[in-house]
Amino acid sequence: MNKVPFSERIWIGTRIGLAALCAAWFFLDPSPIRGAVAPGGTTAKPPGKPAATPAPARTIPRDPYVGAIVVDVGAKRVLFEDRADVQGYPASVLKLMDLLIILDRIEGGQLSFQDKVPVSAKAAATGGSQVWLAEREVFTVDELLYALMVRSANDAAVALAEKVAGNTSAFVGLMNQRARDLGMTSTRFSSVHGLPPGPGQPHDVTTARDLARLCYAVLQKRDALRYTSTRQRTFRPASSKGAVVMRSHNPLLAQVAGCDGLKTGYIAAAGFSIAVTAQRQDRRLVAVVLGSADRKHAAHEPIPIVNIN
């Protein structure tokens, strides 16, 4: 197998590393990597490669991460992977599946961006990151998609799920079916938002490779980047008291040239995760880091991940 040449060594931590990886693909030779699996592409695993490693029952974040992968989207080629098939908890990164399902429905004519979404008591009571929806408020699908992607609003996730499927359990069923359709064989969703599970409820689980497949599918949707690239937007702009200035949790939108998505996620049991995409000229990259133990450590104490001559 030919080595992939770099013009320089890349020393990265999880957050700094994502920025480096977004830039580094310019130096990559386009020759395929044997055994790589690209989202939407054909699996070509080497003999004896183990199946996905199950996530432990409690906390799983690692230093520097549970798993990572970088994909050239246009070529459907994996450029770098490290423990990409080890399972972790996606937290809010799973909201990309919410977005995908809703854009599927809009593309199919079953839903429109201007359809009205009533807020239920369940949606209004959902905690974590939110836009403080109130029961019986009504918003458009478009407004709630911005809340979902920019603010990572869990209450918006519940409201949209109920609009599409009637209840969150049915929507989770749609999420798992879509995951199977995409070949996300190591993924199992249990929630529409990625929050810590309640008593008796399992964690959402996935892998870096499966999230890359999800990102690939999302990027095929014409309107996806309109939401994932937004750095700031006001929710309820006409309200003097209820307006919420939403700011993206993705710092790379401002730090990496060409970065226009996709999603971050964090819960204590999962650690910090990010799925990011950037485009330069005619090439697009997706990089996923799943389950980093410490965002501050990752930002300030870079460690070697890649050193290919």
Active site residues: 92, 95, 152
Nearest alpha carbon to residue 242 among 161, 158, 147, 150: 147
**CA–CA separation, 139 vs 116, rounded Å?**
6
Residue 165: both structure tokens together: 């499927």
DSSP assignment string, 67-82: EEEEEETTTTEEEEEE
The Cα-based distances of 220 to 141, 225, 268, 299 in angstroms read 20, 10, 32, 31
Which of 127, 90, 94 lies closest to 272, judged by CA?
90
What is the Cα gyration radius of the chain?
19
Quickly tell me which residue has 């359990």 as its tokens. Answer: 169
State the amino acid at position 243 in one-letter form.
A
Count of residues in the chain: 309
| Contact status, residue 244 vs residue 235, Cβ threshold 8 Å | yes
